[in-house]
Structure formats: structure tokens, C-alpha cells
């Protein structure tokens, strides 16, 4: 195996023509340069130099090895530069799992900003419901999870997960077109006790929100249709299939349903970015986290 450090010396000799000049450029003694070149000849098994007084001339094998040395050392320099960039978080890949509306609100705008500020940072996005993204994070499948907490639901495990708040939003009541309550400024949930309800699938915390809120209002909701896709939920409401509680940013104005605030204190979800404890200062993860948090600040300003 050829020692790359000796290739550096051979390249310097080819550049400067004498052992002494090469030694000066490399901050070595001439005898150390001569010893390393002799060792390189032993490694390759053939002469690389012809001595001509104080100067040396490269043999054909020496000329050939110099060309390879230039290519090898250039790759090593590129490797060092890439590692240095990785160490400061300017190059690499970060995997982010997020639910759909947070992809729209936070993740996608952050990718736009990262392309401008850190173009060598690649973000891979995986669509996942909030409760699943945390499981993926703890399993080591992703680097960052965009998840959420709700009133009346469990908090993320602070011993294993570091959280970075992104935004908070209320749930609104979504009603079919021409519903009698559609003209009201706000809707009390107990007025919908006899309605059919559309909710996420069992296990999704948003379903628990609807059930808990309705139970607090004095009834058990009659859930007749289920979907984890809020656009599908709103579409079903617009078709007259029932009513629903939907986070405000997940409601599209052009779907035909009517959204109204919940009377009193509405249920709220608090959206956050999460990483495994101890990973929050990883340079590459930090770059993406900072982009997500910067986008949060822009969202806050735009809403104020």
C-alpha cells in the first residue's frame, strides 16, 4: 500500500525540482525528504528518481506516479473539505417526518430557505402522523420529528426527546354547507350532540381530542366516517356526511365546508420539532432546526 504522505513529497519534488526546495516547502529536512522518497521507491518496487548532481529527474514510473498522486491527493483534499463542511453542518442529509399541514406551514418553506443559505444540506421529508413521527424518531429512523401536543393528551417524554415549539393553533368546528349553525359566530359542541361525526382513525390523538371535547360537553360523538387525512375529512363534511373538529391550518377555504370557532375555550394543538436528547447540538441537525425555527418566527409575524 502506498503511503499518501509520501505522495505529497513526490508531488512537491516534481513541482520544485530539487530535494532541498521540496524540503523547504514542506518544512522538512532534505535528509527526511530523501528517506521518504527512498521508502516510496521500495513501496512501488521500481526507481522513481534519477540523481543528476543537486537535482533529480523523475523516471517514467515517477512521472506516472506523480499524475496519480495529483488525483489521489485532490480526492483527499475534497474529502477533508467535505468532512469539515459536515462538521459545521453545511453539507449532508437530514430526514424529517411530519404530518401534512405542518409540511405545508413549516417544513416546505424551511427547505426553500435552506436551499438559499445551505444548498448542500439535503432534507428528506416523510409524511407521518404526529404520534407515529415520535415513534420513528425514538427508533432512530429519522433525525427530526414534527409532532404535536394537545390539551388533555400525554406530553412527550422529556427524558428522551428535546422539543422546540413551532406554533399553536385551535381546532375549529367544520359544518356542511347551509348547516343551521353555519351563520353563528361560534359553535358550542353540545349543539352537535345529535350529529354524525367524522374523525381520524383510532390511535390518532386528534380523534382523542374530538372524543374528550364532546364528552366534556356532555355527550359521546357518533363517529360514522374515519380518515387521518384532514382534507378528506373536510371533503366528507362538505358532502354532508357529518361534522368534525379540525385544526385551523388544515382547513382549505375552497372545499365548500363552513368552519366556525368552538365556543368557550377551544381545544388547541401545539406543534413542535423534536430530536432525540443529545442530538440537538449535532451541527447538521442544528442547521435544519434553525431553519424550522426561523420559519416559525416568520409565521408568527405574518399572523400578528
Q: Which three cell numbers stand for residue 297?
A: 418566527
Confidence of residue 302 (pLDDT cuts 50, 70, 90): very low
| Predicted pLDDT at 121 | 92
- pLDDT tens, residue by residue, 240-251: 999 999 999 889
Q: What is the mean pLDDT of residues 270-283?
A: 88
Q: Which three cell numbers stand for residue 271?
A: 406543534
Beta carbons within 10 angstroms of residue 233's beta carbon: 27
> Residue 276's Cα: distance from chain center in Å?
13
Q: Is the confidence at residue 172, as pLDDT, over 90?
A: yes
DSSP secondary structure letters along 194-205 = TSEEEEPPTT-H
| Predicted pLDDT at 148 | 87
Whether 62 contacts 10, CB under 8 Å: yes
| Predicted pLDDT at 296 | 64
| Predicted pLDDT at 298 | 53
Give dist(CA 11, CA 103) in Å, integer: 51
Closest CA to 91 of 116, 115, 121: 121
Q: Is the confidence at residue 37, as pLDDT, over 50?
A: yes
| Predicted pLDDT at 17 | 85
| Predicted pLDDT at 152 | 42
| Predicted pLDDT at 139 | 83
| Predicted pLDDT at 34 | 92
| Predicted pLDDT at 195 | 97
Q: Which CATH class is domain 4-87?
A: mainly alpha
Q: What is the mean pLDDT of residues 119-124?
A: 93
Q: What is the mean pLDDT of residues 162-171?
A: 92
| Predicted pLDDT at 77 | 81
Q: Taking all residues of the chain, what is their mean pLDDT, rounded to a whole number?
A: 88
| Predicted pLDDT at 242 | 97
Q: Is the domain 92-167+269-303 a CATH 2.30.330.10 member?
A: no
Q: Bigger pLDDT: 214 or 295?
A: 214
Please list the residue range(s) of the chain that carry CATH number 1.10.10.10: 4-87
pTM here? 0.69
| Predicted pLDDT at 150 | 65
Tell me which of 14-23, 46-55, 120-129 is least confident: 46-55
- pLDDT tens, residue by residue, 282-300: 888 999 999 999 876 555 4
| Predicted pLDDT at 78 | 81
Q: What is the CATH number of domain 169-268?
A: 3.40.190.10
- pLDDT tens, residue by residue, 41-95: 999 999 999 988 777 889 999 999 999 999 898 888 888 777 777 777 778 899 9
Closest CA to 286 of 273, 298, 299: 273
Q: Is the confidence at residue 301, as pLDDT, over 50?
A: no
Angle between helices 4-16 and 19-26 (to 10 degrees): 120
Please list the residue range(s) of the chain that carry CATH number 3.40.190.10: 92-167+269-303, 169-268
Whether 126 contacts 99, CB under 8 Å: no
Amino acid at each position: 500500500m502506498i503511503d499518501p504522505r509520501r505522495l505529497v513529497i513526490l508531488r512537491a519534488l516534481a513541482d520544485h525540482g530539487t530535494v532541498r526546495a521540496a524540503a523547504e516547502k514542506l518544512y522538512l529536512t532534505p535528509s527526511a525528504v530523501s528517506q521518504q522518497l527512498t521508502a516510496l521507491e521500495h513501496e512501488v518496487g521500481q526507481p522513481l528518481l534519477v540523481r543528476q548532481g543537486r537535482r533529480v529527474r523523475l523516471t517514467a514510473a515517477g512521472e506516472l506516479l506523480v499524475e496519480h498522486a495529483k488525483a489521489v491527493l485532490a480526492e483527499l483534499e475534497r474529502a477533508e473539505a467535505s468532512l469539515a463542511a459536515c462538521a459545521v453542518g453545511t453539507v449532508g442529509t437530514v430526514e424529517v417526518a411530519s404530518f401534512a399541514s405542518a409540511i405545508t406551514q413549516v417544513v416546505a418553506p424551511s427547505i426553500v430557505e435552506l436551499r438559499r443559505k445551505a444548498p448542500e444540506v439535503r432534507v428528506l421529508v416523510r409524511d407521518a402522523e404526529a404520534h407515529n413521527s415520535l415513534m420513528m424518531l425514538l427508533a432512530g429512523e429519522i433525525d427530526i420529528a414534527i409532532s404535536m401536543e394537545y390539551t388533555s393528551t400525554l406530553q412527550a417524554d422529556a427524558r428522551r426527546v428535546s422539543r422546540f415549539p413551532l406554533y399553536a393553533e385551535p381546532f375549529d368546528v367544520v359544518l356542511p354547507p347551509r348547516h343551521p349553525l353555519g351563520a353563528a359566530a361560534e359553535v358550542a359542541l353540545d349543539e352537535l350532540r345529535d350529529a354524525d361525526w367524522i374523525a381520524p382513525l383510532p390511535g390518532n390523538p386528534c380523534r382523542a381530542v374530538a372524543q374528550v371535547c364532546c364528552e366534556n360537553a356532555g355527550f359521546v360523538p357518533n363517529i360514522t366516517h374515519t380518515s387521518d387525512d384532514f382534507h378528506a375529512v373536510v371533503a366528507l363534511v362538505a358532502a354532508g356526511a357529518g361534522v368534525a373538529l379540525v385544526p385551523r391550518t388544515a382547513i382549505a377555504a375552497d372545499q365548500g365546508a363552513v368552519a366556525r370557532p368552538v365556543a368557550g375555550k377551544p381545544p388547541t394543538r401545539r406543534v413542535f420539532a423534536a430530536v432525540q436528547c443529545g442530538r440537538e447540538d449535532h451541527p447538521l441537525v442544528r442547521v435544519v432546526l434553525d431553519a424550522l425555527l426561523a420559519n416559525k418566527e416568520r409565521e408568527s409575524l405574518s399572523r400578528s
